[in-house]
Structure 1
Amino acid sequence: MSQPVLAQAATQPGQAQAGATPAPQFTLSEGVAVTVNDDLITSYDLRQRMLFLIFTSQIQATPENLPAIQQQALRALVDQQLQSQELERYEVEITDAMIDSEIESMAQGSGSSAAQMLAAMQQFGIQPSSFREKVRVDMGWGMLVGGRYRDRARVGSDQINAVLERIEDAASRPQWLLGEIYIDAATVGGMDVAMNGARHLVQQLLQGAPFPAVAQQFSSAPSAAAGGDAGWVIEGESPAQVQAALDQMNPGQLSNPIPVDGGVYIVLVRDERTGSVSTMASLRQAGIRLAPGASEAQVAEATATLNRLRDSGLTCDNIVSRANQTPGVVGSELGEANVADLTSPFQEIARSAAVGSVSTPQRSEQGLHLVAMCGRRSASDQIPSREDIERELGSQQLNMLARRYIRDLRNAATIEAPNSDT
């Protein structure tokens, strides 16, 4: 595997849209580039989208990377045409006022006005009509996908609980805050093409192209829409090849292309943390006091008493009250404690028992105990709220449904590209 290389600081999307950058010079043959269900995409459309990709990603157009830029632009135009056809089919209307508002919002996000942003684009060769059409289709597609699939993207409590459990279980493992770019070999013409394209992107990133903008335009990962922001990734969750690179990297470093099954990754380590956090457990117990030197008969009698009590249907809600109603047994709230501070056998139960479970009788120096595991959490502000997890899962599911939707449209469409592979 290639060794990691140090990346230059990456700016945020849109930060370098400054004014007097001339358009790159390249030549395309005139005429029709591709037809999509009999709708035409011309060489003019293709050139406009290539200029947009170069402008927003801030990569340098070179003879080596122009074929990859052209392929990416053509694929994006095909998808846009399919989306536009769906908007017409379902009569989704985006008004000029809505487009104006969206462009103004985009400009404000990059620290400029709509007029300044459009002027910079026009200086670069991007016509306002071309950009407005892209904005129109993007807005309409988001509305269409949301309307069709919002109910299917609902997130259940069990899904949120599973994410929280995974995060808490992994809280003590190393974690990396990653930017990611994924080149899907199947969509670019094979692994050799993917590796070559990834090498060119790494060169551009090292020369100062902003990682988020490049990811938005060239990555096939779901995180592309967020500028390649993959969030905090826990040790062992990435492909083995990516994990091997992460183990060698420090914050601020960019990897060389990392081949994996099906494609190529480029990762940027934005931050890292040990993940060392405290696990807090809430316990309750029913106990019988026994001296350390209690006889086998005394231990057996206490065990039988606690087993009968356990078999009566103990829960976190009733263990204390039922214990106190049983002669010789004392119920108590142990409260919430750091697992590391607990003694045996309470620590073992706190670490591994299922929440809501009641243990079998456990021997300690103080006696014999039934221990109810009533709650477990990580004492860290690194754990997201349930609301944050619900929003993230909902967004992921909606993005997955949108990708499936456009994939199905492509598979069903008649796309003729005599000179290009879409």
Structure 2
Amino acid sequence: MKHLRTVAGLLSLAAAGVAPVAAGIAQTVEDRAVPDSGGLDLPDNLQIFGKLDPNVRKPTAIVNDTVLTGTDVDQRVALILAANGGQKISDADRDRLKLQVLRQLIDETLQIQEAKTADITITPGEINASYNRVAQQFNRSPAQMAAYLRESGSSERSLRRQIEGELAWQRYLRRRVEPFVNIGDTEVKAILDRLEAAKGTEEFNLREIYLSANDATQGQVVAEARRIIGELQKGQQPFGFFARQYSDSPTRGVDGDLGWVRAAQLPGELAEAAQQMQVGQVAGPIAVSGGFSILYLTDKRQVLTADPRDARLSLKQLTLRFPAGTTQAQANIRAAAFGEAVKGIQGCGTVEKVAAGLGADVVDNDTVRIRDLPGPLAEIVGQLQVGQATPPFGSPDSGVRALVLCGRDDPKSGQLPTTDQVENQLQQQRVNLRAQQKLRDLRRDAVVEYR
């Protein structure tokens, strides 16, 4: 199932599909206690006077004199759903998505306003160019894209507004933040030395949903984190969907991807969780500075050590498709005949001949890594010798397939990253941190009125 994604992700990353969370999701770290008041003078037995439902929002908000209407929210929600092929969501999920979109629109407005104070203007030509690129990713012309958006309940204006916000903030960061982030040669060398010393240390590929909280909201945020984990456990949406819609970290634009990190690079609470997790598991909510985190471990490896799963394979795939209406019993018979024929393959040079006798299609691929294959299939392929084939696999709907190994390039020992690679990574990390701090300041100083 496709995951919901924002159009901003299409602009910055081309938003390729992300592998879904494994079915065996499990919470691996116990919930932490809610933090103390952080210095606030709060009574032990407080009484709430009046009622407040944080899920109720009036349809119009004014952000520093910029009006956001209920229509703006609805059209942005429709835009997100359109970016995912018109995927249907429940009324409850739609209400939650509206709240998240409202927060995003407020942030986007603040970012555009701040960019304008820095004399940054995104020209119509720049917006048109980005709009056309998005239309291409939807396999539509600009005119067709406009019609599609209207049919989906969104509008060309809503997409262009999001494009403007994305481009304005990126340019603001390049002009007002990046020039003031300095990375020293000594610092880069120290990192390379630490990497060399850490050779063989375990490294984690993590994704994170960070939910900011303060003393007034921490109970609500913990409940929301548990709700998100409950949805993840259902396996109906991948982790990236929830990261994009709920995370308060800049990494939400890349599905919450933290990349490859070692325990020593993580805050203590997250490091402890990562070391207890198995690949495909989710942990949280984990109390961290300023809020709570939900972690998803997608993979693990050892620093600067060759991993057999990184071997690149040259494969031929045979595919025998079944006619519409094929029953399970009929599929079993055809799959058994397919399996017997595959056993007769004597190296990749005979694949086309066997396929022709079966009426099967053949596809070549020379760039597949073992780690990119589904778990059970990766294990089988990893044990094949050149010229051997996997057992048949498939379903009555999709037909039956087999992979034949034509060649294998094993990975070399891990190499240290270059000085430029380390410097660029440090630069990006610090820019992201300062961007988050700047947005927090803008929120604190903003005048937001709901009507």
Q: Which TM-score band applies after superposition, normalised by the shorter structure?
A: 0.5 to 0.7
**Structure 1 residue 387: deviation in Å?**
1.0
Looking at structure 1, the residues matched to 2 and 295 of structure 2 have their Cα atoms a distance apart, in angstroms, of: 14
Alignment match, 1:227: 255
Task: Say which SS state the counterpart of residue 183 (structure 2) adopts.
Answer: coil
Alignment match, 1:42: 69
Of stretches 31-40 and 171-180 in structure 1, the one that deviates more from structure 2 is 31-40
Alignment match, 2:200: 172
Alignment match, 1:402: 435
- 1:385-415 CA distances to partner (integer Å, 9 max, x unpaired)? 1111111111222222222222222222222
Task: Say which SS state the counterpart of residue 395 (structure 1) adopts.
Answer: helix
2:161 is the counterpart of 1:133: yes
Looking at structure 2, the residues matched to 179 and 395 of structure 1 have their Cα atoms a distance apart, in angstroms, of: 17
**Structure 1 residue 239: deviation in Å?**
4.1
Q: Summarize the alignment of residues 50-129 of structure 1 with structure 2, pairs less than 5 Å apart.
A: 50-53=77-80, 61-66=89-94, 68-106=96-134, 112-113=139-140, 115=142, 121-129=149-157
Equivalent pairs counted in the alignment come to 298
2:414 is the counterpart of 1:381: yes
**Structure 1 residue 142: deviation in Å?**
1.3
Code of the aligned partner of 2:270:
V
Which protein is bigger by CA-based radius of gyration?
1
Decide whether the 8 Å contact of 1:65 with 1:197 is kept in 2.
Answer: no
Decide whether the 8 Å contact of 2:82 with 2:152 is kept in 1.
Answer: yes
**Structure 1 residue 268: deviation in Å?**
2.1
Decide whether the 8 Å contact of 1:30 with 1:44 is kept in 2.
Answer: no
Which of 294, 297, 301 aligns to 1:273? It is 301
Code of the aligned partner of 1:214:
F
Task: Say which SS state the counterpart of residue 247 (structure 1) adopts.
Answer: helix
Looking at structure 2, the residues matched to 134 and 88 of structure 1 have their Cα atoms a distance apart, in angstroms, of: 15
5+ unaligned residues in a row in structure 2: which ranges?
10-14, 18-54, 307-411
Task: Say which SS state the counterpart of residue 416 (structure 1) adopts.
Answer: strand
Question: CA 1:178–1:134 in 2, change beyond 3 Å: closer, same or farther?
Answer: same
Question: CA 1:241–1:395 in 2, change beyond 3 Å: closer, same or farther?
Answer: closer
TM-score (norm 2): 0.56
Looking at structure 1, the residues matched to 231 and 145 of structure 2 have their Cα atoms a distance apart, in angstroms, of: 23
Question: CA 1:87–1:244 in 2, change beyond 3 Å: closer, same or farther?
Answer: closer
Question: CA 1:127–1:400 in 2, change beyond 3 Å: closer, same or farther?
Answer: same
Code of the aligned partner of 2:171:
M
Code of the aligned partner of 1:153:
V
Question: CA 1:29–1:249 in 2, change beyond 3 Å: closer, same or farther?
Answer: closer
**Structure 1 residue 37: deviation in Å?**
1.6
TM-score (norm 1): 0.60
Percent sequence identity over aligned pairs = 26
Alignment match, 1:185: 213
2:141 is the counterpart of 1:143: no
Code of the aligned partner of 1:195:
V
Code of the aligned partner of 1:92:
I
Looking at structure 1, the residues matched to 153 and 225 of structure 2 have their Cα atoms a distance apart, in angstroms, of: 26
Question: CA 1:240–1:67 in 2, change beyond 3 Å: closer, same or farther?
Answer: farther
Question: CA 1:400–1:239 in 2, change beyond 3 Å: closer, same or farther?
Answer: closer
Looking at structure 2, the residues matched to 200 and 60 of structure 1 have their Cα atoms a distance apart, in angstroms, of: 19
Q: Compute the RMSD of aligned alpha carbons.
A: 3.6
**Structure 1 residue 255: deviation in Å?**
0.6
Alignment match, 2:187: 159
**Structure 1 residue 213: deviation in Å?**
4.3
Question: CA 1:15–1:400 in 2, change beyond 3 Å: closer, same or farther?
Answer: closer
Alignment match, 2:424: 391
2:278 is the counterpart of 1:250: yes
Looking at structure 1, the residues matched to 161 and 450 of structure 2 have their Cα atoms a distance apart, in angstroms, of: 22
Looking at structure 1, the residues matched to 432 and 440 of structure 2 have their Cα atoms a distance apart, in angstroms, of: 12
- 1:115-161 CA distances to partner (integer Å, 9 max, x unpaired)? 57666544432211111111012112211221122320232212212
Decide whether the 8 Å contact of 2:286 with 2:294 is kept in 1.
Answer: no
- 1:276-297 CA distances to partner (integer Å, 9 max, x unpaired)? 749xxxxxxxxxxxxxxxxxxx
Code of the aligned partner of 1:228:
G
Question: CA 1:67–1:272 in 2, change beyond 3 Å: closer, same or farther?
Answer: same
Which of 53, 57, 60 aligns to 1:33? It is 60
